[in-house]
Structure 1
Amino acid sequence: MASFAAAPPNTHAGGDDEALRTHGTIPMNHTTVYADERVNMEEYKNSVPWWKRVYQDSFTQMMLLSMQSFCGPAMSDAIAGESFCLGGGGLASAQTNNISNAITYVMLALVCFFGGPLVNKLGVKWALVIGAISFPIQGSSYYCNSKFGNQWYIIFGGFVSGVGTGCWYVAESGTIMSLAPSGARGKYLAFWIVARNLGQLVGGAINLSKNHVKGVEAGVTPDTYIAFLIIECLALPFALLISPLERVVRSDGTRILVSEKIGTKQEFKLIKTTMTSSLIILSAVWAMWSFFYSGTWSTYLGIYFSVRARALSSLISPFFCIVGCFGLGFILDMKSLSQRQRARVGLFVVVILNLGVYIWSIIMQAKFNANDPGRIDWDDALYPSAFLPYFFVQTTGPLSQSYMYWLLSSFATDAQANVRNGAAFRCLEAVGQAISYGMNTQTEASPMIGFCVSFGLMALATAPMIMLTNKTPDRIPADVILEGQEAFDAKNPDEHEVVIGKMDQK
């Protein structure tokens, strides 16, 4: 566990101490406590039971969060977001399914817009719990439609899912950007993305096992959704196991410093500050584009592929993503390059890979517009060339998101700022998804429109992202602040001891 999360010494993604004072019961190293609340690991091991140390470890918390992602959003993606892999959500029409998804992402965008104040008031744990409760509701809507044909519940389930998932996404994004030691952020983010795709892998296996017969075109069997629902329900206990962030100890001996709660009025003022910051403005188009592909690609899959071919796609698509995300994670954690250099290299890799996928997909769609291939099955000669663009976009899409969260965390000041930045990014991302699914409610239209819009958004996003990478600090600003405070404490030990005494009294 420690080796996975290993980070260079004296680095962590913390925050400005003056804004982040927290005091817990964990033994501290008094030579650095005022500067960065660094844990005296020897004393910590001697005074805290091993099970509690494991539970409070940042990697354990990341695994718990990833397991929720596995059980919740990944299963929801398998049922709804990747609904055409499942034959249009049971027996739902493609139009109903896209309307449901459009409503989901509209609500998700609204909740994410106000997500900073909401999650900072509720706390990360309870925001995750609300999200975990909402996942089975949407899953049950697809089961009821498949069993009883009531498509209105799918639309209602999309509404509920949008609200709950919005709470979950904001809490999740702030947490994943705060948990990792500075030098392990890329690998932590890769682990989270892989967990999401492993969920889709399991969902794909369930789907394929029940829908592998050639010629079946009616959609997935109703009992498929029972298996998904059982897994979705498991997200709740994992959410309840999340530790408050101020109790988490990173593998490099630092803690996540959480600022004191501020008033609701001040929280809402900070929404404007966050949304108008150069960080969010420069990344706005990228955020809208990052998941824009999902609506168009699900429509592409639903129009041109048989049920069992879609089932197979939901099984094999995550494999390359697992390799790609860890590959990008190691690039973003390279110690031989400065943070700004890694930001530039990461952007280049992500853009080039996406460029190749979009060119391929547009060429394939042009061929399909000229000659309709009908329903492509996995034993057809056309299957590999038609399916591979979808296969690769299931990697390049998550890579785009993983990279963006890494970049956002490179500007870290404190956990609350990570929540606000994550909420803003999720809000804009959800707007893009809502537009994407809204465009595809008219499924008789060619997916070419969606492919071209996605390609155009990526082109528009690239220039601002280059500007943002050029603004990326060579090191996380919080690290510089903390080291400066350490130097001050070393020169002024008497003042430092006064602070320690006040802390001990508390």
Structure 2
Amino acid sequence: MAAPTEDIVETHDDKHVDLDEALVSVEVAHHQETEEDLVDESYFRLPKWAKFYRGTYFQMIMLGGLSFSGPAMSDAIDGLGGGGLATPYTANASNAASYAMSCAMTLFGGPLINKLGIRWSCIIAALWFPITGASYYVNSKYGTQWFVIFAGALGGIFGGFLYVAESTAMLSYPRPTERGKFVGIWVSMRNSGQVLGGAISLGVNVKTAGTGAVSITTYLIFIVLECFGMPCAFLLSPSSKVRRPDGVPVPLAAPVSWKKEVVLLLKHMKHKRTLLMFFPSFYSFFYGGVYTTYLSLHFSIRARALSSFITPVGSILLCLAFGWIIDNKYMSQRKRAWLGFAFWAVPQAAVLIWTAILYRQFQSHNLTGLDYTLNTGDWFRCFVPYYIIQTTGYACQLYLYWLLGCFSADVKSSARTGGLFRCFETAGQAISHGINSRTSDKRIPLYVNIAVYILMVPTLSLLIKLVPDTPVNHDDIVDESKEESKAAAQVQGAMAHDPSGL
């Protein structure tokens, strides 16, 4: 259904009508109809394969395929600990450059996605997937460190297109009652890529009990898998042709100019919900730099390869269960928001404390090269916190997508929300990997992680308090929109007598 943009709802909440947003309100108001009016009857007359092809399920599968061949392969390489290299510092520098560029890209990702569309944004992103694996191969074979960092930086720009495009789709394509399930499918497909990558890494490196770099053959296999992203991108449908299972198109707002897109983005940035989501988004993947460095410095090659296989398996199972929990229709939306928060935040708090204790022990006992067969006890107690933070980390991201989706929005508004969400998230990742590429005392990044967690808890709690008990009703939004459109019409009438008001 064509819900009004989030920016319009924001205008209503703030009790004032801005000129640019008022004009958009007028445009959207003309598109408001009931769900029955919006059902595309021709969709049901299509062949089964065509309905599936244009349906939201197929779009989620293709987006999952993109994540499988792109971010999942990058994560699988990163999951080897320091990119599988002998030391984690070059990989951390590359990741810091990548996420810094992604942060800059996703900041204005909303307007870009709204103009290019989700499909073309994904095609652009898929062009760069194989270069990531190639850079690690070249570094492992020839010792060319600059290429890893350069590929990371440029890949951050290309990857930014995918980050915002997939965020937009996750927030706007599913129906409110299916959002957890759809995001769970996407997260599971992304992690299935890591499972495959981890299985390959484990198979190639299973006999290497020492420390150092993984086999160079590992990267060649990753390069091949990264090439599968392009077909998935081309198979995506334009948003205007996507249909939900009930035949209703995904919500689209009227097109606006580049100037209006930027103005709406700037206003979106100042909204209370946007400010409150900064620390949760910033925190969500901050652990990445801290714990991949932890894995690289303290575990053997085959232990790191085993981790890259079993960790995403746990993430898939956890996220599928978590998606079912937060889609539970027998609890209010706000209760599910609180339950979902506790689901991942409590274990992560325990892990951060656990890791701080382990680092104190590392000072007195130089624990390196931990292996699941040679020193099983030490390996287990040191690996469990890594396993928990990695698996609950994906549950955290799934939760944040679901939470932001509770504030009903159309595709264009979701692009702004998704762009800023990924901007804040990648800023956290850039800083996390950056500090782990420089400091010699690895307790410092952990303490920074703990500080960010402490700041995240109250801000996310305030954001949860804004979640409505039930999904926003379409008719209620339309009624609000009508009031705003009247005010907007008055503004337009004034402009007709005074064009200089533009």
Cα offset, 1:369, TM superposition: 2.1
Paired letter, 1:397: G
1:213 paired to 2:211: no
- Aligned-partner Cα distance in 2 for 1:148–1:194: 35
| C-alpha distance 378-111 of structure 1, shift in aligned 2 (>3 A) | same
Instruction: Return the letter of the residue paired with 2:35.
Output: D
Q: Aligned pair 1:314/2:311, yes or no?
A: no
User: Aligned pair 1:82/2:76, yes or no?
Assistant: no
Deviations along 1:154-212, one digit per CA (max 9) or x if unpaired, are 01101111000011100110011111111011111111111111111111011111111
Cα distance in 1, alignment partners of residues 244 and 355 from structure 2: 42
Task: Choose from 229, 241, 245 the match for 2:239.
Answer: 245
Which residue among 447, 451, 454 is the counterpart of 2:446?
Answer: 451
1:442 aligns with 2:438: yes
- Give the distance between the partners of 1:50 and 1:340, measured in 2 at CA: 37
What residue number does 2:456 align with? 461
1:481 aligns with 2:476: yes
For residue 336 of structure 1, report the CA deviation from its aligned partner.
1.2
Note closer, same or farther for the CA distance 1:287–1:414 as it changes in structure 2 (3 Å cut).
same
**C-alpha contact 1:85 1:311 (8 A) present in aligned 2:** no
RMSD (Å), alpha carbons: 2.4
CA 1:19–1:69 in 2, change beyond 3 Å: closer, same or farther?
Answer: farther
How far off its partner does 1:416 sit? 0.7
Aligned to 2:226: 232
Aligned to 2:46: 48
* Cα shift at 1:19: 5.0
Distance 1:189 1:349 in 2: 16
Deviates more, 1:391-400 or 1:470-479: 470-479
Letter in 2 for 1:61: Q
The answer on whether the counterparts of 2:126 and 2:230 sit within 8 Å (CA) in structure 1 is yes
Partner Cα distance (1:40, 1:223) in 2: 52
Shift of 1:238: 0.2
Which residue of 260, 284, 288 maps to 1:290? Answer: 284
TM-score between both structures, scaled by the size of structure 1: 0.86
Query: Which consecutive residues of structure 2, in runs of 5 or more, have no partner in the other structure?
Result: 6-24, 483-502
Task: State yes or no: 1:193 paired with 2:187.
Answer: yes
Asked whether the 8 Å contact 1:181–1:252 carries over to 2, the reply is no
TM-superposition CA deviations, 1:269-306 (whole Å, max 9, x none): 12211211111111111111110000010110111011
Which segments of 5 or more consecutive residues in structure 1 lack a partner in the other structure?
1-11, 24-32, 488-506
- CA offsets 1:96-155 (integer angstroms, 9 cap, x no match): 221111110110000000111111111111111111111111221111112222111101
Q: Which residue of 1 aligns with 2:92?
A: 98
**In structure 2, what is the Cα distance between the partners aligned to 1:182 and 1:483?**
17
Q: Offset of 1:423 from its aligned partner?
A: 0.5
Name the residue aligned to 1:414. Answer: 410
For residues 194 and 274 of structure 2, what CA distance do their matches in structure 1 show? Answer: 30
Find the counterpart in structure 1 of residue 60 from structure 2.
62
Structure 1 residue 465: deviation in Å? 1.2
Alpha carbons 1:76, 1:138 under 8 Å: kept: yes
SS in 2 for 1:444: coil
Aligned residue in 1 for 2:420: 424
Give the alignment partner of residue 470 of structure 1, picking from 465, 475, 478: 465
Task: Tell me the alpha carbon deviations over residues 329-376 of structure 1, each in whole angstroms, 9 at most, x when there is no partner.
Answer: 112111112212211221122221211222222222221122211221
Q: Is the 8 A contact 1:137 1:160 kept in 2?
A: no
1:395 to 379, 382, 391: 391
CA-to-partner distance for each residue in 1:82-102, whole Å, 9 max, x for gaps?
3526522xx5x4222211111
User: Do the aligned partners of 1:205 and 1:315 also contact (CA within 8 Å) in 2?
Assistant: yes
Equivalent residue of 2:128, what SS?
helix
Determine the C-alpha separation between the residues in 2 that align with 1:224 and 1:124: 32
8 Å CA contact retained: 2:128, 2:155: yes
Map of 2:251 onto structure 1: 257
Q: Does 1:358 align with 2:352?
A: yes
CA distance, structure 2, for counterparts of residue 127 and residue 403 of structure 1: 24
Partner of 1:289, secondary structure, is helix
Which of the residues 204, 222, 242 maps onto 2:216?
222
- The list of structure 1 runs, each at least 4 consecutive aligned residues, that deviate by more than 6 angstroms after superposition, is none
Letter in 2 for 1:102: A
> Is the Cα contact below 8 Å between 2:100 and 2:430 reproduced in 1?
yes
Name the CA shift for 1:19/1:61 in 2 (closer, same or farther; >3 Å).
farther
Q: Please report the TM-score for the alignment, with normalisation by the length of structure 2.
A: 0.87
Distance 2:248 2:27 in 1: 16
Task: Work out whether residues 406 and 471 of structure 2, in 8 Å CA contact, stay in contact via their aligned partners in 1.
Answer: yes
Q: Are 1:293 and 1:450, in contact at CA under 8 Å, matched by a contact in 2?
A: no
Change (3 A) 1:19 1:405: farther
The percent of aligned pairs where both chains have the same amino acid is 37
> What's the secondary structure of 1:34's corresponding residue?
coil
Letter in 2 for 1:159: A
Separation in structure 2 between the aligned mates of residue 305 and residue 444 of structure 1, nearest angstrom: 18
Mapped contact 1:13–1:476 kept (Cα < 8 A): no
Residue type of the partner of 1:185? R
* Separation (CA, whole Å) in 2 of partners of 1:257 and 1:296: 39
Q: How has the CA–CA distance of structure 1 residues 262 and 39 changed in structure 2, closer, same or farther, with 3 Å as cutoff?
A: closer
